[in-house]
Amino acid sequence: MKNINKGISLKSNFIWTLLGNVIFYASQWLITITIVKVGSNELAGIYSLGIAIATPLFVLFNMSTRSIQITDMQNEYSFSDYFSLRFYTTILGIFSGILWGFLSVDKLSNLYIIIIICAIKAVDAMADIIYGLMQKNERMDLVSKSMVIRGLTTFGAMFITFFYTKSLTLSLIVMLIVSLIRLILVDIKSIKTFEVFELRFNFKKMINLIKVSFPIALVGIIVALNPNIPRYFLQEYLGEDAVGIYSALVYISVAGNMISSALGQSMTPRLAKLYKEKKKKSFDKIIKIMILIALTMSVCAILLSLVLGKTLLSYLYTAEYIKYYEIFIVIIIWSSINYISSVFGYALTSIRYFKQQTYIQLITLILMILTCYIFISKFGILGAVISGITVASVQLLLGFILLFIARKQMDQNDKDSYMNAEY
């Protein structure tokens, strides 16, 4: 009988992760397209604003425990510890989302939308920590199967409901119900494949885990905030319509994000093992392969956008979007820089350079706020994109420098160990 706990190959993990990401993120993109085509830019803007509020909140309250979990090669904490902490912090995330929504919107109907989106994100947060268990065991095929089900069922439920009712609130409620059913029947059920777990409240362990997670949690919240900061400024200066248009344009770049995310998720556990085992050549080889793939993606994305950009904009959305073609090209360039930058981010996470990444993200957060304040008031949606490409370039440079320093330290540690052995 095949041992399901045995990890599959790196190639298989990448292919499965890519498949899961493609279907899941495509389904999320189709939700945006549905709201624009069947509804309006204003509804798309409200939905995007809800996502912009819920995403950074749950990244914060998730405490980035999945990153700690998949690199915990010494098994310092059990899955029950990770799951329990995620459960309690998710509850805090829901209440914080309600408060933020109450302070952010004027209409009660918009507040309901934000609350439901926060509830959906809460379900996703619980699924995420279960994915971490599978990822640590290098079983991304199981994660991908769950993501395929998650993407298809949520989009299907939303599309049917929204098409017939035109009610975004009702459509999101149906999405929430479908998400809960999937979490119980698919994700939670799959845990027993790997180990027995229990929900517990061990205050000391949770505090210790929070201390370990806090630096990378700060990185996570800033990473989640950075792409959403332009939405906050656009909402303030230009309203929901501009947020909707900007979000729709940016979401087209999700295709590349699927590949870079699949690459990072499948490679991170292997990089962590190679770093722990001090296999420098293999570690470096994987990093070089990741950079090569990211560069190839970047070139292909820019060329395709130049040739097919106008067709994509008119076909996916409406003819009105063709006038944003030049902005769309700049967005693709911005995304291309992010593909390469993400390689350094995953590599640094694999060697547990959590605190160091915090400094990079703080710098980019401050820069994003300043550039959005300067450019969006003058150039509108284009200003948001200019801010993004500026910040992405700085992040790429800082990530490269930090990984270069980390790599030098690996060489120095090996040299010191050799000298001590000789002595």
Give pLDDT, residue 418: 40
**For 58, how many CA atoms within 13 A lie in the half-sphere containing its CB?**
29
Inform me whether the pLDDT recorded for 84 exceeds 50.
yes
Inform me whether the pLDDT recorded for 1 exceeds 50.
no
CB 376 within 8 A of CB 230: yes
Give pLDDT, residue 2: 39
Q: Buried b / exposed e across 340-362, counting CB within 10 Å, b at 16+?
A: bbbbbbbbbbbbbbbebbbebbe
Share of the chain above pLDDT 90, in %: 21
What's the pTM? 0.66
CB 101 within 8 A of CB 116: no
Residue that the structure tokens 């996916």 belong to: 316
Reported confidence tier of residue 170, pLDDT bands at 50, 70, 90: very high
| Residue 185 to residue 21: CA distance in whole angstroms | 21
CB 79 within 8 A of CB 191: yes
Share of the chain above pLDDT 70, in %: 91
CB 388 within 8 A of CB 334: yes
For range 166-195, the mean pLDDT: 90
Inform me whether the pLDDT recorded for 8 exceeds 90.
no
**pLDDT of 38-62, one tens digit each?**
888 788 888 888 888 888 788 888 8
| Residue 71 to residue 418: CA distance in whole angstroms | 26
Mean pLDDT of the chain: 82
For range 175-179, the mean pLDDT: 95
Lowest mean pLDDT among 2-6, 122-126, 188-192, 396-400: 2-6
Inform me whether the pLDDT recorded for 211 exceeds 70.
yes
Reported confidence tier of residue 127, pLDDT bands at 50, 70, 90: very high
Reported confidence tier of residue 177, pLDDT bands at 50, 70, 90: very high
Inform me whether the pLDDT recorded for 253 exceeds 80.
no
Give pLDDT, residue 167: 92
| Residue 120 to residue 102: CA distance in whole angstroms | 18
Residue that the structure tokens 């690199």 belong to: 71
| Residue 362 to residue 369: CA distance in whole angstroms | 11
Structure-model confidence comparison of residues 303 and 199, the more confident one: 303
**pLDDT of 309-341, one tens digit each?**
888 888 877 788 888 889 989 988 988 888 888
| Residue 196 to residue 243: CA distance in whole angstroms | 45
CB 245 within 8 A of CB 323: no
Alpha helices (H) in 238-324, listed in sequence order: 240-251, 254-276, 280-316
Q: How far is CA 244 from CA 178, 241, 333, 397, in A?
A: 25, 5, 20, 31
Could you tell me how far CA 70 lies from the centroid of its own chain? 16
Give pLDDT, residue 5: 53
Which residues neighbour 306 within 8 Å (Cβ) at sequence distance 6 or greater? Answer: 329
Give pLDDT, residue 422: 47
Give pLDDT, residue 414: 55
Give pLDDT, residue 119: 94
CB 252 within 8 A of CB 409: no
Structure-model confidence comparison of residues 384 and 259, the more confident one: 384
Which residues neighbour 148 within 8 Å (Cβ) at sequence distance 6 or greater? Answer: 19, 20, 23, 24
CB 137 within 8 A of CB 5: yes
The token pair that represents 300 in the structure block: 């292909």
Q: How many CB atoms lie within 10 A of CB 12?
A: 15
Inform me whether the pLDDT recorded for 7 exceeds 80.
no
Structure-model confidence comparison of residues 398 and 359, the more confident one: 398
